[in-house]
Structure 1
Amino acid sequence: MEFTKMQGLGNDFILTENLMKLKRDWPNIAKKLCHRNLGIGADGLILVEPSNIAEYKMTIYNSDGSLAKMCGNGIRCFGKYLYDKRYLQKSEFSVETDSGIKHLVLKIQFNKVVSVQVDMGPPFFEPKSIPVLAQGDKVVDKYLKVIDKGFTFTALSMGNPHAVIFLDEIDNFPVEKYGPLIEKHSFFPDKVNVEFVSVKKDGSLKMRVWERGVGETQACGTGACATLVAARVKGVVNNTAKVHLKGGTLKISWKGENVLMTGPAETVFTGNVTI
C-alpha cells in the first residue's frame, strides 16, 4: 500500500488512496500503521475516497481504530495532498466528511501550498447534538469533578464533541492525568475531546488538547475552533484570535455563522507498506 506521511502543526497522519472503495479492515489497519513503535507512527489514518457530493471524501480513523467524523488538521493535509498529487489543480474546492461538506481555500505560492483555510461550518451547542448529558440550550461553565479536582467546562460540537476548560496556567498542568478521565466521563456518551486553555494578555489563546481515541497531541484543528468559540461565548476574546498549540499556531475566526480555520500542512515522507 502506497502512503504519504503528512502533518499539520505536529498532528500527523498517514494518507492513502481508497478510490475503489475497497472493503478492508480499516480500523485494525489504522491501529497497526499508527503504532509509534511497530508501525509508521501517526495520530490517524486518512483515506482518500470518491464522493458523489464533493470533489473527494475524507475518511479518518484515529490511532485506536475508532472512526473520527472530522479532523481540522487532517483536512488541511487532505487538501494539500489533492493539490500536490494533481487530483485537483484549483485553489478552492469542497471535501465530503462524516460531519458534512467542508470548503477549502488553498494559499498557493510558486505552485506550492503554504496554508489552507477551511470553512469548518457552524458550532453546535444543543446538548444532544454534542452529545453531553445536560439540560438547557447550551452547556457553559458546567461543573465537573474528577478525582480530587473540580473543573468548569463549556461543551460544543465542531462536527465532533469538545469540552473546553479554562485555566490560569496550562504549561505544567497534568493533562495526561485528567484528560483521559474527562474524555471517558459519564457526562459524554460518545466520549469527548478535552481542551485545556489559558487566555493571554494579547488576546490570543494557548491550548493543550487530549484527543478522544488518541491522547495528548501536538495540535487539534477542531479543538482550536471549539476553543475560540467557547472563549467568544464567555466574552474573553474577539471574533478572530490566534490559538497557540504545542505544534504551532492556528488563526481562527468566528464572524458569522461558520468558523474559519487557517494553518499549514506539510508532507513528511512517502513510502510503501505491506498490510
Structure 2
Amino acid sequence: MQVWKMNGAGNAFAIFDARQQGFAPSPDKIREIAAEMKADQVMSIEADEGATAFLRIWNSSGEEVGACGNGTRAVAHLLLEESGVDEVRIRTAADLLRGLRADNGLVTVDMGRPIMEWERIPLSEKMDVRGVDVRIGPMDKPYLAKPAVVSMGNPHAVFFVEDVDAYDIPAIGPLIEWHPLFPEGTNVGFAQIIDRETIRLRVWERGAGLTKACGTGACAALVCAARANKTERRAKLILDGGELIIDWQRSDDHVLMTGPVELEMTFDV
C-alpha cells in the first residue's frame, strides 16, 4: 500500500492508498500513525463507483470525521496528477466534492454550500447562528463571546478578535471544543479582520488541536465574516502555515477553497 505524507498550507496529512486493499485501523493505530508521521489527520483513499474516489478521514485523536478541506485538496492533487484530467470528484462522509486544477500549481476544492441551520450544524438548542450564547471569562464581562457558527461538513465556531495573537488558544480551544452547545464538538476559529479582502486566522481543530492551517476553518471564517458584512465574499485567509483564497460564490452559494499542496515523502507499507 502506498503512503504519502503531504501538507496543505502547513496542515499535515498521512494518506494511505486503500483502493486495492482494506485499511481499517483502530483509534489507537490512528493515534500511533499520526504521532509517528506528525500528521494532523490520517486519511485513506478508497474505491467509489460513483466518484473518482472515496476519502475517509480521521483526526489525530483517533475519531473518524466527515470533512477536511486541506486534506481533500491534497488528495485532489494526487488524483489529478495520477489521471491527467482537470477535475476529480471526491466523496467524503459529508458530501461529494469537486477538486480542480488552479493556476500556478494550486488546487481548488468546491466545498459546497455552507450549512447554517442550527439543528444541522448541529447545536444542542435553537439559537441565532450569527452569534450564539457562548462566553469565556467573567459572565458580566467575558473576553470572548458570541461566536458565529456554521458547518462546512464539520462544525465551526468563529470568534472575531482584534488581535489573534493575543489569545492563549491552546488554553481556550478545549473549553469551546466540547461546550454543551456542540453535541458533536466543534472546531474553534479566531479571526482577525485585516481589511475587507484579508483575514488572519488561527484554528483549534476538533480532535487535532492547534494546527498550522484548517481548510474548512478558513471557509467557515470567510462565510461568517461575509455574512456579518465584515468582508467581501472572496478573501485571502492568512494562516500560520500559509495562505488560502476562499470564494463564497453568489451564483450557487458554493464555497471554493484554493491553495498550495506539498508532497513531503512517499513510501510503501
List structure 1 segments (4+ residues) > 4 angstroms apart after TM superposition.
none
For residues 58 and 160 of structure 2, what CA distance do their matches in structure 1 show?
A: 28
Alpha-carbon shift at residue 172 of structure 1 (Å): 2.6
Does 2:18 correspond to 1:27? Answer: no
Contact 2:61/2:208 (8 A) holds in 1: yes
Match of 1:123 among 114, 120, 130: 114
SS in 2 for 1:139: coil
Once the two structures are superposed, residues 217-249 of structure 1 have per-residue CA deviations (whole angstroms, 9 ceiling, x without a partner) of 000000000000000110111111111110111
Alpha-carbon shift at residue 68 of structure 1 (Å): 1.5
SS in 2 for 1:128: coil
Q: Which amino acid in 2 is paired with 1:55?
A: T
Match of 2:203 among 209, 219, 233: 209
**1:26/1:3 CA distance change after superposition, 3 Å:** farther
Corresponding residue for residue 236 of structure 2: 242
Match of 1:90 among 75, 85, 88: 85
Counterparts of residues 264-275 of structure 1 (less than 5 Å) = 264-273=260-269
Corresponding residue for residue 263 of structure 1: 259
The root-mean-square deviation of aligned C-alpha atoms, in Å, is 1.6
Q: Which amino acid in 2 is paired with 1:6?
A: M
Alpha-carbon shift at residue 26 of structure 1 (Å): 4.3
SS in 2 for 1:171: helix
Contact 1:132/1:155 (8 A) holds in 2: no
For residues 155 and 202 of structure 1, what CA distance do their matches in structure 2 show?
A: 20
SS in 2 for 1:228: helix
SS in 2 for 1:129: coil
Match of 1:74 among 71, 74, 99: 71
Does 2:191 correspond to 1:197? Answer: yes
For residues 27 and 195 of structure 2, what CA distance do their matches in structure 1 show?
A: 43
SS in 2 for 1:30: helix
Alpha-carbon shift at residue 171 of structure 1 (Å): 1.4
SS in 2 for 1:118: strand
Gaps of 5+ in 1: none
Once the two structures are superposed, residues 3-57 of structure 1 have per-residue CA deviations (whole angstroms, 9 ceiling, x without a partner) of 110000110001111114525324332111111xxx1221111101001221111
Does 2:160 correspond to 1:160? Answer: no
Alpha-carbon shift at residue 108 of structure 1 (Å): 6.7
SS in 2 for 1:223: helix
Gaps of 5+ in 2: none
Alpha-carbon shift at residue 142 of structure 1 (Å): 2.1
For residues 29 and 82 of structure 1, what CA distance do their matches in structure 2 show?
A: 26
Does 2:98 correspond to 1:103? Answer: yes
Match of 1:56 among 36, 53, 56: 53
Contact 2:59/2:207 (8 A) holds in 1: yes
SS in 2 for 1:122: coil
The normalised TM-score by structure 2 is 0.93
- Paired residue total: 263
Q: Which amino acid in 1 is paired with 2:126?
A: Q
Alpha-carbon shift at residue 173 of structure 1 (Å): 1.2
Alpha-carbon shift at residue 202 of structure 1 (Å): 5.5
Q: Which amino acid in 2 is paired with 1:139?
A: V
Match of 2:42 among 42, 45, 48: 45
Alpha-carbon shift at residue 101 of structure 1 (Å): 0.4
Corresponding residue for residue 229 of structure 1: 223
Match of 1:132 among 123, 129, 133: 123
Once the two structures are superposed, residues 115-157 of structure 1 have per-residue CA deviations (whole angstroms, 9 ceiling, x without a partner) of 1111100011111101112325x41122312354441111110
The normalised TM-score by structure 1 is 0.91
**1:23/1:83 CA distance change after superposition, 3 Å:** closer
Q: Which amino acid in 2 is paired with 1:44?
A: Q
Contact 1:197/1:208 (8 A) holds in 2: yes
Identity over the aligned pairs, expressed in percent? Answer: 35
Contact 1:9/1:219 (8 A) holds in 2: yes
Corresponding residue for residue 175 of structure 1: 169
Contact 1:49/1:59 (8 A) holds in 2: yes
Alpha-carbon shift at residue 93 of structure 1 (Å): 1.6
